[in-house]
Structure 1
């Protein structure tokens, strides 16, 4: 079993989750997609307050499948055992496309580092800056945090913000800097394909 971080986003089918593409599919390898995935909202130390939602499909950019670029994916989950759609149960974050890079970002993830070992939600807060076609914030979360949301205008009391990226990779030269894709036209196509499936 492997873990990844994700975020529920508002969508037409009320069943979409945004994550990093490398969490669901091996890059530059169109046929290597993970199967039998579930989404668990608000997981903490073995507790699953909203239950688990089976992942029905994963939509990734063709650029990821062929060239390992555009590291993002939108998952579509089935209704729960009671027939309820995901956002009807847990709500969802707004999402912004073509938003200029900058401003204060709160990034979240289930880092595999000790002592958490993927059992606790961690977060980083920093100012986003553009870097080599992606965006970056100061953050040292490790594997397991991949796919976790980057939220602008985050309000701790409501837990709501606007999704502007997801954790993609720590910079290899600066392991205290998290990088994430800029959500542009490709991200919008992936989101639209998922929200209408």
Structure 2
């Protein structure tokens, strides 16, 4: 009887300590949360690309990057893109490229997202649009030779962007022309040096 009482006492203490360890979730716990979303299966069904969402270092926004994991399991997920605001993965029909959206930052604020692409055989990703109001909803054509997307950019936006680029180029050129140019000092040639040595000996 004493053994049974001792057993229940130990069990009660164990359960009590277990409940004592629990606590309510606070807003600070959200900083450590990791979310995943927008899973996209590759055309051959071997891999899944998805968006991984975390709270940024300043704890004032979110970072998104694209990761991949095999559908068969057996491997840890690995990161495909290194940007802070990468999203919307989209496989090419042959699975050789991964199209996605990337928003860079300027003065601490995200710029409009642009179309970017990652070769799955190796190499760095790169952005290939520069639209004032960004791009969205990318989709490959069935043959993989073209890409459709949406954008709020209009002709006036493009004209303003082109004018701004020309102004910046002209300003850069003017600053370059105004800066003093220093000619490299001429070093004596070996022949001149030899002649000077002979003169000194004389």
With the length of structure 1 as denominator, give the TM-score of the two structures: 0.25
In our comparison, the structure showing a higher alpha carbon Rg is 2
With the length of structure 2 as denominator, give the TM-score of the two structures: 0.25
Structure number with greater CO (CA < 8 Å, separation at least 6) is 1
